[in-house]
Amino acid sequence: MRIDLVTLKIFLTVIEERNFARAAERHFIATSAVSKRISDLEDVLGVQLLERRNMGVRPTPAGLELVTHAKDMMLVMARMRAQMSEFGDGSKGEVRVFANSTAIVGFLGPTIRTFLEAYPQIDVHLEEWSSPFIVRALRDGIADLGVFWSGVSTAGLVVHPFRRSNLVAVVPLQHALADRSEVSFAETLDYDLIAFHEGSLIFRMMQSYAADLQRKLRIRLQVTSFDAMRTMVRSGIGLAVMSDVTVGPPDESFGYKVVPITDEWAKLESLIGYRDFNALPRSAQNFVRHLQRPYPHRAPEAGGAMEPGRYPLT
């Protein structure tokens, strides 16, 4: 394991919260994932960083020392990247991009490919995270820019519309909804659901809108990948609610049908976000410009901060 900025940020959150579970909630990952990162960090450094107690954790002397170094390291890295970028024209370097799973699976691939073709000496460091965590990472300077759903609070960031998509119900061929041309979200609540993991923004949106209808999601199975979700739908376990860009062509030969969801909130928008364009390394500035090039499914507007969404981080 290498010591990376994300692990150090998670470590700092554990120190702040004095609790693995609360730190996991803030980063929208599993408690076990937080524990594993801390244990691996202790193994690499060869010291105990935390004292585990029934009521939580507290830093050891070594842990307190690492807190200072971790904070300094993040500041130094941010300053170094910004200053070094001033010595070039942005044709060389690295771009740190955090994106949600829908963006990575649905549409980022071709965009990154054309960027790398235009800038062969720039490397893109792409990591997959939930939308709420991406926003935190941008605020903390861990990532240069992020691609995430518009439903999260974007206070303190500059954001631009990037891609639009729509939620759809993916149903087995013999499902009661298979012959429908469209469906409301309320109608999907009558059936068993194959859900994405609880840290995903779409899952949280579904929970919230179900609660508005005084209903609950009939979750039969939860998975962590779109491939697994489609496979379970084909098996007839239940329906899934996904972004249309992650489903693929609505071909019955795939073993399922795709039914658009008509609710207004099911019309989703992905955003490009960053803290300060002028503070970005020039390589990252070039990537932002590349992302804003015309695209058939882009929103027509492209500028200005947007209103915080219904699903804030806190």
Query: What is the rounded average pLDDT for all residues in the chain?
Result: 84
Position 84 scores a pLDDT of 67
State what percent of residues in the chain have pLDDT above 90.
44
Average pLDDT of the residues in 85-105: 79
Shared domain for 183 and 60, answered yes or no, is no
Q: What's the structural domain count of the chain?
A: 3
Contact assessment for residue 196 and residue 128, using Cβ atoms and an 8 Å cutoff: no
Average pLDDT of the residues in 60-81: 82
Shared domain for 261 and 277, answered yes or no, is no
227 inside domain? yes
Shared domain for 127 and 175, answered yes or no, is no
pLDDT at 301 exceeding the cut of 80: no
Shared domain for 71 and 147, answered yes or no, is no
Confidence of residue 202 (pLDDT cuts 50, 70, 90): confident
Question: What amino acid occupies position 294?
Answer: P
Average pLDDT of the residues in 78-87: 64
307 inside domain? no
296 inside domain? no
186 inside domain? yes
297 inside domain? no
Shared domain for 148 and 283, answered yes or no, is yes
Confidence of residue 107 (pLDDT cuts 50, 70, 90): confident
Instruction: Say whether pTM exceeds 0.75.
Output: no
Domain stop point among 66, 83, 100:
83
| Domain CATH number, residue 124 | 3.40.190.10
Position 16 scores a pLDDT of 82
Shared domain for 209 and 156, answered yes or no, is no
34 inside domain? yes
Shared domain for 15 and 73, answered yes or no, is yes
Average pLDDT of the residues in 241-261: 84
| Domain CATH number, residue 9 | 1.10.10.10
Range of the domain at 67: 5-83
Shared domain for 226 and 105, answered yes or no, is no
Q: Which of 21-25, 115-119, 246-250, 306-310 has the highest average model confidence (pLDDT)?
A: 115-119
The two structure tokens encoding residue 74: 């993040």
| Residue 314 burial (C-beta neighbours within 10 Å; 0-12, 13-18, 19+) | exposed
Position 309 scores a pLDDT of 35
Contact assessment for residue 238 and residue 192, using Cβ atoms and an 8 Å cutoff: yes
Shared domain for 39 and 67, answered yes or no, is yes
Shared domain for 75 and 99, answered yes or no, is no
Bridge partners of residue 222, in order along the sequence: 195
132-151: per-residue pLDDT in tens? Answer: 889 988 988 888 999 998 87
Higher pLDDT, 158 or 82: 158
pLDDT at 300 exceeding the cut of 50: no
Position 115 scores a pLDDT of 94
Higher pLDDT, 202 or 237: 237
Dihedral over alpha carbons 206, 208, 213, 216 (to 10 degrees)? 70
Shared domain for 116 and 144, answered yes or no, is yes
Shared domain for 101 and 149, answered yes or no, is yes
Contact assessment for residue 159 and residue 213, using Cβ atoms and an 8 Å cutoff: no
